[in-house]
Amino acid sequence: MFIALEGIDGSGTTTQTARLVAALREAGIAAHATCEPSAGPVGALIRQILAGRVVLPPEPTGQGARQPGPAPSWASMALLFAADRLDHLDAEVLPALARGRTVVTDRYDYSSVAYQSMSGEGGAAIPWLRDINRHARRPDLTLVLDIDPSVAAERRALRGGTQELYERAALQQQLAAFYADIDRYFPVDRFTHVDASASADVVAAKIWRSVRERRAEPFD
Ligand X SMILES: Nc1ncnc2c1ncn2[C@@H]1O[C@H](COP(=O)(O)OP(=O)(O)O)[C@@H](O)[C@H]1O
For the stretch 24-30, contacts whose Cβ atoms lie closer than 8 Å and that sit 24 or more positions apart, written own/partner, are 24/102, 24/104, 24/211, 29/102, 30/99, 30/100, 30/101, 30/102
d(CA 153, CA 94): 34
Per CB under 5 A, 14 contacts Mg ion: yes
Task: Give the CA-trace dihedral at 16, 194, 169, 47, to 10 degrees.
Answer: 30
Q: Among 25, 130, 137, 155, which residue sits at the site for ligand X (rule: CB under 6 A)? A: 155
Q: Among 6, 12, 31, 178, which residue sits at the site for ligand X (rule: CB under 6 A)? A: 12
Residues in contact with ligand X, total (CB under 6 A)? Answer: 14
Q: Which of 171, 169, 142 is nearest to 156 (CA)?
A: 169
Residue 60 or 161: the one with the smaller Cβ distance to ligand X is 161
Going residue by residue from 96 to 135, which x/- string records binding to ligand X, judged by CB under 6 A? ----------------------------------------
Per CB under 6 A, 23 contacts ligand X: no
Residue 140 binds which of Mg ion, ligand X, none (CB < 5-8 A, kind-dependent)? none
Amino acid at 29: I
Cβ atoms of 194 and 210 closer than 8 Å:
yes
d(CA 118, CA 83): 20
Per CB under 6 A, 149 contacts ligand X: no
Q: Which stretch binds Mg ion (CB under 5 A): 7-15, 62-70, 145-153, 199-207?
A: 7-15
d(CA 105, CA 1): 11
Going residue by residue from 182 to 211, which x/- string records binding to ligand X, judged by CB under 6 A? -----------------xx--x--------
The site for ligand X (CB under 6 A) is made up of 7, 9-15, 155, 158-159, 199-200, 203
